[in-house]
Structure 1
């Protein structure tokens, strides 16, 4: 079985496709089409109203989307979005956002003088 997996990965690399690239591109496409409207480009929301998804742990994102889909997490916007997602789409989105770089927010400090 191990040699079959290795042969499959080698075949994919030979044709120029990697499993990570296909997951990332699938997640990217869904993210750009649907999620970016609220969560911003690359998952870096411009407002505190919507969470930043970029840089979150992949397992956490998968768990959160599955919980929204199952109704275990309630949000009037996210539940209908998650209900439409397949297991593979959830995995692809989690992989995509997990691989992005999250922006940090810096608080402005006032220096008197």
Structure 2
């Protein structure tokens, strides 16, 4: 009986977590080239974005877009992104789980 109850509770709590996962953003491609699709950097010097705070990512993206953060590469990459696209990118990366990067 305990196993059935524990399994039922585990499934009940897991389903909302999966349902709440954000959709893959349409504009993810260019970001993923440096930051990885799951937020783990693909090139040296690019920060990992997986698991960053949602509000931090939103504000950082706005600052790149608006020129308040003067990083030409990011300004060119983000371009004139809409608030909806900006929010989708921030939600996506904040929802990703950071991974430990092992040594080969």
TM-score by length of 2: 0.70
Aligned length: 85
Aligned CA-pair RMSD: 2.1
Could you say which residue in structure 2 is the equivalent of 1:50? 46
TM-score by length of 1: 0.65
Cα drift, residue 87 of structure 1? 0.4
2:32 and 2:24 map into 1 onto residues whose CA distance is 14
The match for 1:70 among 47, 56, 66 is 66
Could you say which residue in structure 2 is the equivalent of 1:30? 27
Q: Contact 1:44 / 1:52 at 8 angstroms: preserved in 2?
A: yes
Q: More helix per residue: 1 or 2? A: 1
Could you say which residue in structure 2 is the equivalent of 1:9? none
Q: Which runs of 5+ in 2 are unaligned?
A: 1-18
